[in-house]
Structure 1
Amino acid sequence: MKILLEELPHQEKSLENLIKAFPPLDKHTTDPDKDFVYANPILYYRDRDDKNIDIKMETGTGKTYVYTRAMYELHQRFGIFKFVIVVPTPAIKEGTKNFIQSSYAKQHFAQFYGNTRIDLNVINAGDFKARSGRKNFPAHLTNFIEGSRQNANTIQVLLINAGMLNSKSMKKSDYDQTLIGGTTQPLEAIKQTRPVVIIDEPHRFPRDKANYKAIEALKPQTIIRFGATFPDVTVGRGRNKQIKKDYYRGEPQYNLNAIDSFNDGLVKGIDIFYPNLSEQQAKKSWVVDKVSAKELTLKQGNIHKTLYVGDNLSDVDDGFEGDVVYAGSKALSNDLELSKGMILIPGTFQASYQEMIIEDALNEHFRKEQENFFRLNNAPKIKTLSLFFIDSIKSYRDSDGWLKKTFERLLTKKLEELIAKYDHSQSQKEIDYLEFLRATQKSLQSENQNVHAGYFGEDKGSGDEAVQAEVDDILKNKNKLLSFKDEHGNWVTRRFLFSKWTLREGWDNPNVFVIAKLRTSGSDNSKIQEVGRGLRLPVDETGHRVRQEEFESRLSFHIGYDEREFAQKLVGEINSDCKLLLNHEKLDENMIKLILDDVRKTQPKFDEEDLLEQLDKLNIINCKNEFKENVEIEGKVKSGFEWLLEYYPILSSIQLRDGKVNNNPKKSSKRLVKLNQENWKKVKELWKVFSKRHMLIFERKAEEISKIAKEVFSNTENYQREAYTYSKQELISKEDQVDITDNPTQEYVDKYRSGMPYGAFIKEIAQKTDLPIKDIHPHVLKSLKELNNSEYLSYSSVKKLVRNFKAEFEKTYSQSYHYEALDFQARTSIFDPRDDSFVESVSSGLLGVNQLEGVSEDSRNLYYTPPVYYDSIHPEKDLLTHGYAADVTVFGKLPKSAIKVPKYTGGTTTPDFIYVLENGDDSSIYLLVEGKADNMREGDRQIIQNQEKFFEQLDKFHIEYQVATDAQDVYQKIDNLLNSKK
């Protein structure tokens, strides 16, 4: 299987913001070393703190992709070719290395950057060891430092972990070699390359700690930090002291926070499970009263017991089963870090309790594995992986270890149950799964099983080939873990992974669907970081990333009873990332502004007075704008605040949506909506036509396209220089506190960025317009001669030229095409032409992100209700809850990709609603509705044009098409159609 990377909007936006914030080139520098071929070009502000950039992206949303692409982009735009990537741990370093060097990443970036390549140089512990009596530099270090800008298509990247960068080996100067400038010290040599430094996981690099100071010692021209979490900094003194996030310029230059990541479906939803303890067991908890390097004091009520280094917890309470001792330095022998106030529950240390967690995790694994194997509508399979965090390596690695024996016993039992279940299957998909299970069983019973594997820090250099093979599979062979079969057609059965938190950060495998913690991880860890290994959206067997609404499985996170408040803390941590905290007591100014900004997208004249008047009429607020309690609207009673969220869902969107994190669910949390087959049968003939593949036939003339190109590219008004400004931050002392001011400054500013290379400029336009270079080059050259300034070779010019060309092209050809049905049918999200039937159910995500329970059942709906799912209140929710005349025999919201009308600009589209109306002559009128806002975007207009033209050509059916900006538009259309038939 080959992973296929794709451009995602949030990643493109983060890259765009990074480029905007990047310091310009210093074209007028008087530095005598400005042309030093082993160093980057010189940037402005290289000696100022506000040169640096922060990019905040939540775990699982593609930070590594963005900073890898950023290196290509900065090389193309500014000629930057020396980058140092600093990561906190060797495991993260391995993950970054594997991504940059992967064939799928190289192939993906080649489509944007041609034959430009990254020469990745990785420094590891042990690389500095003397050989043959000589103290030489590691080859990778020499290669990075001596890489020259004369090799125009090569980007030199040094990848190093913090411990290695801050090591004595990097600071020594007694080597038997010299590097550029005659230096014998690695750090000094790197500094002379004028590097751009990228920091991954910035919360691990506080600015007052040694590892960050080691980065500063490189004198980077700019530092770009990529992370979901940033370090804290204390501002002010005394009562005014505050702890804030330490951002370079006061805020990130791009901020994809946790709420947006979950709500927009960029990461998986989460179900959290824990086995319950009896009330008696739960009461026997011990609290950490004091902890120091040499002793630990636990208390239970008025009882205090002290343990010293080497003492066993079972000496305090025999409920602490297992050989767990106080190891000193505020940690137990199972690596659990202790802090004052932590609660230790003896029952959760018992082997039987851990067995319950393992059994629950295995049950969830195979439930999800079957969901992902037998996906709806015969979609490609998804390989399911599970990750176990454990406390004892010995218990897993030893052949007679308790954990290994228990896991394999429980797994064997589960495999036997499933093999019996599918033993007499008839469908090919079930026969394939049975074969997969039997291959798993056979491997598990063999001497060298390939079903589960472990990776621990202690594995490095162990010399055990079998262990090294496991480590390589986990860290390096991502494609293999994601595949069902190898290159020889044999089943790849490895899908259960064990670690001790070594894989908690940096390791990336998108198909982790179950995480089980067989021990607590302490009290101060980021909860998002703990679930982070399972948040990424999965990849199917064809290598494509699967959108959240296209798969049913969520991340199942299994923890102990002592962490039962995990869900609450996780939701709290996610919501703490909110840009605006909602006031549950009163409608405040921030909430009013947010509502007005949203409503004015469709009602530009809507103001605060209109809003307050509406809420007053609904009886939601009082004269002080405080929310009323027990407000009844349409027979339902809710608080005023809850009604406000109902009418203005933009407020809900800034906090974590219900259902994204479920605590200890009693049953499967998957949300499938069952189709009402009787109603779908009434539109079956229509769907047979819709399932036919259609293609767009364009009526274009080459000479007309060339004429448009000439008009756009010869117009000098379409060329722009890129201006830039910078802000200057100053610390100002005021009595007992320190404040930061942030003011624009023109100090040392050259006003406009230098132009990009002419060849790259032309190539960029050609790629974005699909025009031959011969139709671009002469007109661009003519314009540049008139402008007489290479600064107009900018990305702003590319954007404006491409945008204006496409606008003129679409104006000329927007109606010059027709649809032509092909001779084959294709599966849509609801209909499979191979067996001429509709699917049994669809994912709720294909219908909408919001759920409404309190609706009456309507037998005419396309789905069994309640609940109903929708994206917007107006018009979607209104249309779904309206009482229609009896002549409307079928109605309902269409799932995404239900029809797949080819779009003029690429991809497909589906209308939002369908209605079937009785025509009085044993025939039906089909009304298809596309809901849009009044101030629709140009892309929306193109969708409407596509749909109108598509439905016009289906003469066989009585199809009406309606664009609705309001529910009343649809009600009126239905009334008109019903009246006209009479």
Structure 2
Amino acid sequence: MKLQFKVQQYQTDAVDAVVDMFAGQPRRSGFSYRIDPGKVKPNAAPALFETNTTPDSGLRNSEIELSAAHLLANVHQVQTSRNLPLASKLVDSKAAPGAPNLDIEMETGTGKTYVYIKTIMELNKRYGWSKFIIVVPSVAIREGVKKSFDVTAEHFQQTYSTKPRSFVYNSSQLHEIERFSSDAGVQVMIINIQAFNATGKDNRRIYDVLDDFQSRRPIDVISANRPIVIIDEPQKIGAAQSLEALSRFSALMVLRYSATHKVEHTKVHRLDALDAYNQKLVKRISVRGITVKGLAGSTAYLYLDAIEVKKGQPPTARIELEVQTKAGPIKRHLKRVTKGTRLHDLANGIESYKDLVVTDVSAIDDTITLSNGDVVVAGQLADRDVTEETKRRIQIREVIRAHIDKERELFNQGIKILSLFFIDEVAKYRDYGREDTLGDYARVFEEEYEAAVTEVLGELELDEATTTYQQYLRRDTAREVHQGYFSIDKKSKHFVEGAVHKTGDEKGQSKDVGAYDLILKDKERLLSFAEPVRFLFSHSALREGWDNPNVFVMGMLKKSDNAISRRQEIGRGLRLAVDQHGERMDNPATVHDINELTVVTDESYTDFVTGLQKEIAESLADRPRKASVKFFTGKTIQTHDGETVVEEALAQALYQYLAKNDYINDDDTISEAYKASREAGTLAEPTSEVLKPAIDFVCTLVDALYIEVPLPTNGRKPKKVPLNEANFMKKEFQELWSRINHKAVYQVEFDSDELVRKCVKALDTHLSVTSLQYVVQAGKQRGSLEADDLTSGVGFEISTTSTQTETVSAGSQVKYDLLGEITEKTQLIRRTAAKILSKVTPDTFAKFRLNPEQFITEAAHLINEQKATVIVEHLTYDTLEDRFASAIFTENQSAQDFTKAGEKLKKHVYDYVVTDSKVERAFVTELDTSIEVAVYAKLPRGFFIPTPVGDYNPDWAIAFTEGSVKHVYFVAETKGSLSTLQLRGVEDAKIECARKFFAEVNQKFEGQVKYDVADSYSKLMELVTA
């Protein structure tokens, strides 16, 4: 399998943050210099033919030609566009004194390695810089980075018509440094910090004068290139000794990429844990914890495994309890119980269960209640003398169950599920003293896996949808589906503990490069269904090596280690999954239905989640949390007219609006009232004339202040919602379904001259750019100084401040491919883009010289807006004979959290419906009690309408009782607000496309289906009776 890569806007934004920092820098293809040839050893044997083993000339990076003021102005522009605090100066560092030191914050799993490789390519394309060094903190990360260069090479070759040449620094292969210095093209050296910061003989070679390197020091040859240094995970190599070592590279600049910067420099981009989750760039997290408690007045053993909801049945609890077998010994068995089950009878008379009766089973709360008053929650273990063995068996069982649940859901979508166990002793997986060599964990795994597969095969219905999955389950034995990844002894070929680092940044991590190589080599193979292995056991010391995107379940079968945070542990499974074609599963509509990482821990759910949220909250410490006029002033917002800077009058109006409506607390933090109103679409209308036209745009600034760490879901709560077959088969619903289940294709035909006219008008009317400005401040030392003046930083006083405007001469300083950039950003053909640019007024085109970067960005944004409008206006649908099958109501259905399910419904095609907001819950309540409604359905994700801006999944299909309303068949979209501004952009375009789709269906098939947007049941009744 080959992984597929595509251009992602959030990654492009991170690239642009660095590249735009140097806007105005001339492009130089490389500065030629004479490489130090060194000296040939006097006693060296003469060559048969005269050769020159050392190239005469090299190509080093050209110097940064922008002034400090110009660089700072560029930084301010980048920071303003990303709503980051403005830097007062470019922060210096011991790693590169006098050079730019930039921080790029990116959450784990969002592809920071891809981003800095693309940044390398863009810096080369725009400015000609070609020599780069990537510094990593560990062997594991080094091997992963090299693998990333290998797998992305073809992708970047297609984009840039070239690819970077990368190599891992090895002190015994110094010829690579010669090539690094002399070869043209993009050259990248990957080096781990220990290779030049440790005291070992091999590590010191980089600083030594070496006979086999023509009496030169490798560090001198490297530093002569003025390389750009990229540090991956800088917080792990921030010691003073490391910084001093880095300075010897004589870096042109230093770029630092991490999710958790400990030492701040000049931050130019932020994509933190909150951003990544809200933008659906990483998996969401589900947790299955284990809680230990004793039952009141009893020594009974009881484990509540799960609550099940099945078609036409009351909720059932699956419990493990001790049972007296006929053969004599007491064994633990899984049993299903319902309300009224007597545990004493179920256990065949074991005394400790006497008088214990199940009095209630709740699917909503995930609990059972016993006759002694105890309430047991799913995942809770009642055992007075719990053992390590018991907890580990339960964890292994839970991993297997979570795996199979996800596998059943995603198998038909072509997504291979992997589960990863971290253990702390090889012997627990592989015991070479036993005949079958199985360790305790491997033995328990095989027992539990066989039991789980037998149970699942007995439950699966014999239909076409599940036949292939049943064959997949039966194909491989329990022995074939698991594999260990550990260090391997070279002589015996047995798994061994392997050497680990005892101190320093890599403490607790494996030193075994071979083990990391095996993990990386098997990465793509493990993603294929043809490979039977789907459960992976690995030593916790190798955790840094794992980043397989299809790890959906993680089991921590090891003692808790305070040195490893929960964020670090789960970071190995946060990447979005890929299917059998290597395509990333990142469709915004389904991304978190598919991508959910389940963590099975021996902590309670509450303890794990509390600890994880605390760690995430600490990582968000530098985010602003309080509303103020100062915070809002100067921020950039995106309006219909492009990017706009918030002025003080608007900031003042916004702050007063928040205060007046109790949307901020007494300490200026954002209130729960704001969040609830924002979600429901019921924010108060502003009275300020300044704020009215901008309210929908400035709310994004307020949203940024509301910091709510995403709460991992309880992995035991989600359940498949049973189909109500009686409602589904009702004549009214089948009639409605037959009218709307047509598949369709769309086409767009429009006159390019019309697009040109609209784009020219938009550019002439709305294109606005600001001249590049920088501030010059002059000051002098105070006449008399106190010690406190120096410590508080007020030893100098400013005498003058002036703001200078710099006009960029696009012709003399840097060659901008205006037409090429516009073509790339708008996906128009060059002829159309050229026609648009040639028809704008001279005044509009003159703005290009004021600020080329902003001109290109704003012009592309305005053209794309007009393109979207024209596309929707000229869109037509052609319905096909092919239809959506009824099976989409049951196939690939994701499990859902029953805490949001409400009571059992009477008229819905499912017994329960999970809602996302108060608006939807109120809507459901009224639909279910309405005498006019015959049957209704929340349409499954599998039903969609194709549109140019992405697939669209309508909310509801409603069939009314014949004769009660004018429009019997209705498809509804529920929104908290009907304001066009609040439904702007992509969502509004999808709704307009849906109107055209249903118009076509009604015309071609006499469908008589009405489609519209309703924010309440009363609005719906207005629409169906009008």
Distance in structure 2 (CA, Å) of the matches to 1:371 and 1:673: 14
Deviates more, 1:93-102 or 1:67-76: 67-76
The percent of aligned pairs where both chains have the same amino acid is 21
Distance in structure 2 (CA, Å) of the matches to 1:729 and 1:159: 43
Amino acid across the alignment from 1:838: F
In the alignment, which residue of structure 1 is the partner of 2:86? none
Distance in structure 2 (CA, Å) of the matches to 1:954 and 1:415: 49
The answer to whether residue 112 in structure 2 is matched with residue 63 in structure 1 is: yes
> 1:691-746 CA deviation, whole Å, 9 max, x = no partner?
3321123233466667878x589989979798475999999985595569999999
> 1:124-152 CA deviation, whole Å, 9 max, x = no partner?
xxx334xxxxxxx523322222222xxxx
> 1:548-569 CA deviation, whole Å, 9 max, x = no partner?
6554674343445699944322
In the alignment, which residue of structure 2 is the partner of 1:310? none
> How is 1:739-758 mapped onto 2 (pairs within 5 angstroms)?
752=808
Distance in structure 2 (CA, Å) of the matches to 1:553 and 1:278: 36
> 1:478-504 CA deviation, whole Å, 9 max, x = no partner?
11121121xxxxx4325313123232x
> 1:572-592 CA deviation, whole Å, 9 max, x = no partner?
111223468999xxxx85699
In the alignment, which residue of structure 2 is the partner of 1:384? 418
In the alignment, which residue of structure 2 is the partner of 1:413? 447
Q: Is the contact between residue 397 and residue 404 of structure 1 (CA under 8 Å) also seen in structure 2?
A: yes
Amino acid across the alignment from 1:542: H
> 1:846-868 CA deviation, whole Å, 9 max, x = no partner?
xxx99757x666534455447x4
1:803 match: secondary structure? helix
In the alignment, which residue of structure 2 is the partner of 1:511? 550
Q: Is the contact between residue 609 and residue 712 of structure 2 (CA under 8 Å) also seen in structure 1?
A: no
1:67 offset after TM fit, Å?
1.4
1:60 match: secondary structure? coil
In the alignment, which residue of structure 2 is the partner of 1:267? 283
In the alignment, which residue of structure 1 is the partner of 2:745? 695
In the alignment, which residue of structure 2 is the partner of 1:78? 127
1:365 offset after TM fit, Å?
2.9
Q: Is the contact between residue 374 and residue 429 of structure 1 (CA under 8 Å) also seen in structure 2?
A: no
Q: Is the contact between residue 889 and residue 940 of structure 2 (CA under 8 Å) also seen in structure 1?
A: no
Distance in structure 2 (CA, Å) of the matches to 1:549 and 1:84: 35
1:612 offset after TM fit, Å?
5.6
In the alignment, which residue of structure 2 is the partner of 1:447? none
The answer to whether residue 35 in structure 2 is matched with residue 4 in structure 1 is: no
Distance in structure 1 (CA, Å) of the matches to 2:658 and 2:712: 30
Distance in structure 2 (CA, Å) of the matches to 1:742 and 1:852: 60
Q: Is the contact between residue 95 and residue 506 of structure 1 (CA under 8 Å) also seen in structure 2?
A: yes
Could you tell me which of 233, 240, 243 is aligned with 1:212? 243
Distance in structure 1 (CA, Å) of the matches to 2:571 and 2:831: 49
In the alignment, which residue of structure 2 is the partner of 1:577? 619
1:824 match: secondary structure? strand
1:55 offset after TM fit, Å?
1.2
Distance 1:474 1:673, change over 3 A: same
Distance 1:691 1:17, change over 3 A: farther
> 1:240-284 CA deviation, whole Å, 9 max, x = no partner?
xxxxxx2102xx3222222333455423313153474889xxxxx
Could you tell me which of 903, 906, 920 is aligned with 2:963? 920
Q: Is the contact between residue 19 and residue 74 of structure 1 (CA under 8 Å) also seen in structure 2?
A: yes
Distance 1:68 1:673, change over 3 A: farther
Q: Is the contact between residue 260 and residue 654 of structure 1 (CA under 8 Å) also seen in structure 2?
A: no
1:976 offset after TM fit, Å?
5.5
Distance in structure 1 (CA, Å) of the matches to 2:704 and 2:863: 39
Could you tell me which of 155, 171, 181 is aligned with 2:207? 171
Distance 1:358 1:752, change over 3 A: farther
Distance in structure 2 (CA, Å) of the matches to 1:559 and 1:423: 27
Q: Is the contact between residue 848 and residue 855 of structure 2 (CA under 8 Å) also seen in structure 1?
A: no
Distance in structure 2 (CA, Å) of the matches to 1:537 and 1:30: 38
Q: Is the contact between residue 386 and residue 495 of structure 1 (CA under 8 Å) also seen in structure 2?
A: yes
Deviates more, 1:764-773 or 1:715-724: 715-724
Distance in structure 2 (CA, Å) of the matches to 1:821 and 1:563: 49
2:878 match: secondary structure? strand
Distance 1:765 1:891, change over 3 A: same
Distance in structure 2 (CA, Å) of the matches to 1:519 and 1:109: 41
Distance 1:675 1:203, change over 3 A: farther
Amino acid across the alignment from 1:839: T
Distance in structure 2 (CA, Å) of the matches to 1:729 and 1:673: 69
Q: Is the contact between residue 571 and residue 661 of structure 1 (CA under 8 Å) also seen in structure 2?
A: no
Between Structure 1 and Structure 2, how many residues are aligned?
808
Could you tell me which of 223, 226, 229 is aligned with 2:260? 229
1:2 offset after TM fit, Å?
2.8
> How is 1:130-209 mapped onto 2 (pairs within 5 angstroms)?
137-148=173-184, 154-166=185-197, 167-178=203-214, 184-206=216-238, 208-209=239-240
In the alignment, which residue of structure 2 is the partner of 1:117? 163
Distance in structure 1 (CA, Å) of the matches to 2:489 and 2:762: 59
In the alignment, which residue of structure 2 is the partner of 1:803? 861
Q: Is the contact between residue 784 and residue 790 of structure 1 (CA under 8 Å) also seen in structure 2?
A: no
1:171 offset after TM fit, Å?
1.0
Amino acid across the alignment from 2:177: L
Distance 1:958 1:417, change over 3 A: same
The answer to whether residue 62 in structure 2 is matched with residue 41 in structure 1 is: yes
Distance in structure 2 (CA, Å) of the matches to 1:119 and 1:438: 46
In the alignment, which residue of structure 2 is the partner of 1:838? 889
Q: Which runs of no fewer than 5 residues in structure 2 stay unpaired? A: 36-56, 72-95, 198-202, 296-384, 497-512, 641-649, 680-701, 782-786
1:575 match: secondary structure? helix
Distance 1:590 1:915, change over 3 A: farther
Considering only aligned residues, what root-mean-square deviation do their CA atoms show, in Å?
5.2
Q: Is the contact between residue 97 and residue 247 of structure 2 (CA under 8 Å) also seen in structure 1?
A: no
> 1:83-106 CA deviation, whole Å, 9 max, x = no partner?
11111011111111111101xx23
Q: Which runs of no fewer than 5 residues in structure 1 stay unpaired? A: 130-136, 149-153, 232-245, 280-350, 445-449, 486-490, 628-639, 827-831
Could you tell me which of 392, 398, 402 is aligned with 1:364? 398
Could you tell me which of 148, 156, 165 is aligned with 1:99? 148
2:579 match: secondary structure? coil
> 1:628-663 CA deviation, whole Å, 9 max, x = no partner?
xxxxxxxxxxxx97667544558799444674154x
Deviates more, 1:729-738 or 1:758-767: 729-738
Could you tell me which of 943, 951, 959 is aligned with 2:998? 951
1:157 offset after TM fit, Å?
0.8
Distance 1:552 1:731, change over 3 A: farther
Distance in structure 1 (CA, Å) of the matches to 2:859 and 2:995: 29
2:614 match: secondary structure? helix
Distance in structure 2 (CA, Å) of the matches to 1:263 and 1:703: 39
Distance in structure 1 (CA, Å) of the matches to 2:739 and 2:260: 51
Q: Is the contact between residue 134 and residue 229 of structure 2 (CA under 8 Å) also seen in structure 1?
A: yes
Could you tell me which of 958, 961, 964 is aligned with 2:1011? 961
Q: Is the contact between residue 748 and residue 876 of structure 2 (CA under 8 Å) also seen in structure 1?
A: yes
Amino acid across the alignment from 1:10: Y
> How is 1:852-871 mapped onto 2 (pairs within 5 angstroms)?
852=900, 858-861=905-908, 863-865=910-912, 868-870=914-916
Distance 1:723 1:87, change over 3 A: same
> How is 1:666-815 mapped onto 2 (pairs within 5 angstroms)?
668-670=716-718, 672-681=720-729, 682-701=732-751, 723=772, 734=788, 737=791, 752=808, 761-776=818-833, 794-810=852-868, 812=870, 814-815=872-873
Q: Is the contact between residue 84 and residue 160 of structure 1 (CA under 8 Å) also seen in structure 2?
A: yes
Could you tell me which of 712, 730, 735 is aligned with 1:660? 712
